Structures are given as C-alpha cells and as structure tokens.
Amino acid sequence: MKRHIALVLALAVLALGHGTASAKDWKKIRIGVEGAYPPFSSLTADGELVGFDIDIANALCAEMGVKYTLVQQDWDGMIPALRARKYDIIIASMAITEARKKQVAFTDKYYQVPAKFVRKKGSGIEISKAGLKGKVVGVQRATTHDNFITGEFGSGVEIKRYATQDEAYLDAVAGRLDLLLADSVPLQDGFLDTDLGKDWEFVGPGYTNVKYYGEGAGIAVAKKNQDLVDKLNKAIEAIRANGTYKKINDKYFEFDVFGG
C-alpha cells in the first residue's frame, strides 16, 4: 500500500514538473505561417518562406532567445491547427477580432493597414450598396474581408471565396470578378504593382471597422499559454524600441505599417 502511494505521488510530481516546463520554459517554438500573402509571407522559387511576417518572427525569436520552426498552413486551417497543437503560435497577418478571441489568445498588434476594394480600370464601379448591387466580389475565405463584405453588402452582391489571395487575383484577371477586397498593402504589392494587375485600380475608402477588422494584426497563441503571450508582447515592444522593427518595416514599405 505504501509503495502504491509513493508511486502515485512520484507520478504526480513528474506530471506537475512536465506541465510547468511546457508552460514556461520556451526554448523552442513552432510558428504557423501562410506563405501565400505577399509581401507579408510568400514562397520563393526555391521554396523558402520570406516576407514581413517571416522577418518579424525571426526578430521576435531572436529577442526572446528561442529557436523556432516555421510550419506552413492554409489560411482557413490556421486556428484549428493551433488548437490541435500543430504549432505554438500563428504569425500570419491575423486580425485581432472578438470572434477569434473566443478561440485563441492574442498579443498586442504588430501592424495595422486598411482594407480596400479594387476594380478594373474603366469599369466605373462605385462603392455603395447601390453600386455593388449584382456585382461579383472576390475575397479570401474565412477572413475579416469575408465577414465585412457579407455583413455590409452580402444581400446585394455575389461573393466568391478563395483559399488563397492569388486564386482570387487569377479569377479577377480572367473576368470572373468585378471587384476584389483585401488588405491594401498586399493588393498593391501582390497585384496592382505586378503585370497581372496592371489594368486594375483602387476604388473607395479604406476600411478599419473594429466590428470586422478588430484591433490590427496580432500573434495568435493557445489560451492556456498566457506566459508566451507576455513574452511576445515584451519582444514586440523591444524590437519597436531598438530599431529592429523599423529596419524590417523599411525593407518592405515606404510608410509606417504599424499604424496609428
């Protein structure tokens, strides 16, 4: 009987010790990234992940003194894969919204840019409920843009949803879409500034509605790992203060992507 009690106590101590280590001793982390959202993340011809999000991940891990592994994941599976422990955090331009806060924890924002529509030059399409009535709008599936167009214009427009932004660009050029809606920076860098999007242009205002677009892009973390959220917040603050963030910013943008 005594031996049985001693064994139970020993196993309990080991389990407690293991839980403490996994919660606080972050020596290495796995980072979920998309790889299909330039200039924030994309794949080179050699299969290397590059972009603003990737450089931010590297800078934050260097600041925290941890090693990391990048895990590529399709956008609509990002949060399910985090909750299934496929990786520890998500750095993938994910907006901090109330709906997502119910599933995961977030750091403070690390950037914020407005969303915009683009139309084909000469189409004359204007952004209003009347102007969009009967039009076909392309968005990336399960994004804040999907929620926005559905919530604000859904009854009057046909919404086509895509797994990646690149798929939406191709359908737009093929004449299957009247408009695209996405973050303004990827639209500019990944579409309008390319030969593919040379016949398209921005139209209408920028959108940052908190109801849909939240508080900016943050790093998603499993709710139980608040200690990791705290470490990441300190690292974000540190790279903002020591100039590392500005160097990364200026590599990709001619403006302060952090936002107001």
Domain boundaries, the chain: 27-112+215-252, 115-213
Do 27-112+215-252 and 115-213 have matching folds?
Answer: yes
27-112+215-252 has CATH 3.90.600.10 classification: no
Phi, psi of 71 (to 5 degrees): -120, 115
pLDDT recorded at residue 57: 98
The type of residue at 197 is G
In order along its 260 residues, the chain shows pLDDT tens digits of 444 544 444 444 444 444 433 456 899 999 999 999 999 999 999 999 999 999 999 999 999 999 999 999 999 999 999 999 999 999 999 999 999 999 999 999 999 999 999 999 999 999 999 999 999 999 999 999 999 999 999 889 999 999 999 999 999 999 999 999 999 999 999 999 999 999 999 999 999 999 999 999 999 999 999 999 999 999 999 999 999 999 999 999 999 999 97
pLDDT recorded at residue 15: 45
pLDDT recorded at residue 22: 44
pLDDT recorded at residue 260: 76
CA-CA distance, 244 to 238, in Å (whole number)? 9
Diameter over CA atoms, the chain: 86
Distances (CA, A) of 255 to 4, 172, 227, 249, 260: 66, 28, 32, 8, 12
Contact 161, 141 (CB under 8 A): yes
115-213 maps to which CATH number?
A: 3.40.190.10
Phi, psi of 45 (to 5 degrees): -60, -25
Kindly compute the dihedral angle of the four CA atoms of residues 210, 215, 221, 224, in this order, to the nearest 10 degrees: -70
pLDDT recorded at residue 119: 98
